[in-house]
């Protein structure tokens, strides 16, 4: 049974391909793969375990490892994509179409040219397609994408300083609500909980389980908490560094670690058990 590999293409596009010819493939190798009506070139991300693959259409095949000539052609294609972008943008402006051109991708074998765009409403781009087809003499596809897909194709860095999750490892976008921000004790200021795309941060969703698992170990924000300095109010919780911030009436802030919190809870539980035993 052929091995499976995850291959990355321009715009953070990822697909799984089979290796029926048992080529010696490693991560970061460039390979030529089967594509729709032709061939495409991408970079191997990693080997994929077959049992982790969802059942669906049969994966296409890896045809061969890329040669130096293939890589030179890829560079030439990238230069042509820039020219196509400028020309298509000129056509869009000339026709007065209400659409934003995001990216252009030329299939490795030049059999397909895809233009990605965003638009607030439906756009009649039939005349644009005809003009593009007449200009480039190849199959043309105009694909409308959402703002989250736009961020994924363009890439960049998030507020955390790391590469965007959508461009790094996320394969699908799921609905995200402000309720997740509330559960994680985050500010509901849109500027602080939105990503480069203007939508709610994707990390709110996949960090949800960590918060659900960790928060019960801490007292709630706004609750009273007694320390050696007196009674104060829980003002902040940091589950990653495992501490809370207690704010006293004087305005002084005090950090209390999770280990100390558990120690105090254990002590209080012991006192309660002894009191109940005494009462019974």
Both 10 and 62 in one domain: the answer is: yes
The rounded distance, in Å, linking the Cα atoms of 66 and 42 is 9
Is residue 175 a part of any domain in this protein?
A: yes
Both 77 and 141 in one domain: the answer is: yes
Both 224 and 202 in one domain: the answer is: no
Q: What pTM value is reported for the model?
A: 0.76
The CATH number that applies at residue 270 is 2.30.30
Last residue of a domain, one of 212, 246, 267: 212
Instruction: Over range 212-225, report the average pLDDT.
Output: 89
Q: Please write the tens of the pLDDT for every residue from 52-71.
A: 555 567 889 999 999 999 99
DSSP-assigned states of every residue in 92-117: HHHHT---EEEEEEE-TTSSEEEEEE
The CATH number that applies at residue 122 is 3.30.300.20
DSSP-assigned states of every residue in 44-110: EEEEE-GGGSPS-SPPPBEEEE--HHHHHHHHHHHHHHHHHHHHHHHHHHHHT---EEEEEEE-TTS
Assign 268 a pLDDT band (cuts: 50, 70, 90).
low
Q: Which of 47-51, 134-138, 155-159, 265-269 has the highest mean pLDDT?
A: 134-138
Query: Which pLDDT does position 51 carry in this prediction?
Result: 54
Is residue 120 a part of any domain in this protein?
A: yes
What is the C-alpha radius of gyration for the chain, rounded to an integer number of angstroms? Answer: 27
Query: Which pLDDT does position 279 carry in this prediction?
Result: 58
Please name which of 106, 142, 83 lies closest in space to residue 10, comparing C-alpha atoms: 106
Is residue 207 a part of any domain in this protein?
A: yes
In this structure, are residues 31 and 62 in contact, taking their beta carbons and an 8 Å threshold? yes
Is residue 151 a part of any domain in this protein?
A: no
Both 189 and 240 in one domain: the answer is: no
Is residue 254 a part of any domain in this protein?
A: yes
Q: Is 12 left (phi over 0), alpha (psi -120 to 50) or beta?
A: left
Both 77 and 136 in one domain: the answer is: yes
- Strand order, beta sheet including 112-118: 100-106, 112-118, 139-144
Last residue of a domain, one of 91, 117, 145: 145
In this structure, are residues 14 and 45 in contact, taking their beta carbons and an 8 Å threshold? yes
Both 39 and 103 in one domain: the answer is: no
Domain residue limits at 43: 3-66
Q: What's the structural domain count of the chain?
A: 4
Is residue 158 a part of any domain in this protein?
A: no
In this structure, are residues 73 and 108 in contact, taking their beta carbons and an 8 Å threshold? yes
Phi, psi values for residue 128, rounded to 5°: -65, -40
Is residue 184 a part of any domain in this protein?
A: yes
The rounded distance, in Å, linking the Cα atoms of 228 and 208 is 33
Last residue of a domain, one of 191, 212, 233: 212
Does position 280 have pLDDT exceeding 60, yes or no?
no
Both 101 and 82 in one domain: the answer is: yes
Query: Which pLDDT does position 98 carry in this prediction?
Result: 94
Is residue 255 a part of any domain in this protein?
A: yes
């Amino acid at each position: 049974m052929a091995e499976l590999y995850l291959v990355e293409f321009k715009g953070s596009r990822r697909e799984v391909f089979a290796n029926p010819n048992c080529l010696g493939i490693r991560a970061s190798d460039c390979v030529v793969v089967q594509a729709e009506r032709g061939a495409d070139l991408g970079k191997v991300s990693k080997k994929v375990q077959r049992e982790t693959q969802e059942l669906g259409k049969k994966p296409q095949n890896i045809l061969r490892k890329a040669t130096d000539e293939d890589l030179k052609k890829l560079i030439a294609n990238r230069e042509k994509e820039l020219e196509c972008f400028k020309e298509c943008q000129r056509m869009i402006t000339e026709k007065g179409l209400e659409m934003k051109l995001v990216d252009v991708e030329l299939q490795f074998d030049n059999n397909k040219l895809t233009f990605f765009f965003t638009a607030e409403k439906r756009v009649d781009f039939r005349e644009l397609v005809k003009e593009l087809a007449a200009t480039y003499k190849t199959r043309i596809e105009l694909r409308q994408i959402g703002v989250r897909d736009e961020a994924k194709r363009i890439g960049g860095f998030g507020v955390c300083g790391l590469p965007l999750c959508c461009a790094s490892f996320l394969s699908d976008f799921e609905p995200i609500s402000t309720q997740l921000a509330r559960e994680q004790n985050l500010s509901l200021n849109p500027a602080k909980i939105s990503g480069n795309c203007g939508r709610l941060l994707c990390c709110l969703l996949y960090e949800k389980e960590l918060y659900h698992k960790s928060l019960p170990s801490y007292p709630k924000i706004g609750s009273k908490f007694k320390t050696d300095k007196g009674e104060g109010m829980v003002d902040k919780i940091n589950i990653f560094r495992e501490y809370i911030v207690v704010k006293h009436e004087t305005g002084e802030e005090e950090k209390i670690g999770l280990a100390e919190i558990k120690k105090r809870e254990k002590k209080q539980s012991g006192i309660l058990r002894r009191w109940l035993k005494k009462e019974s």
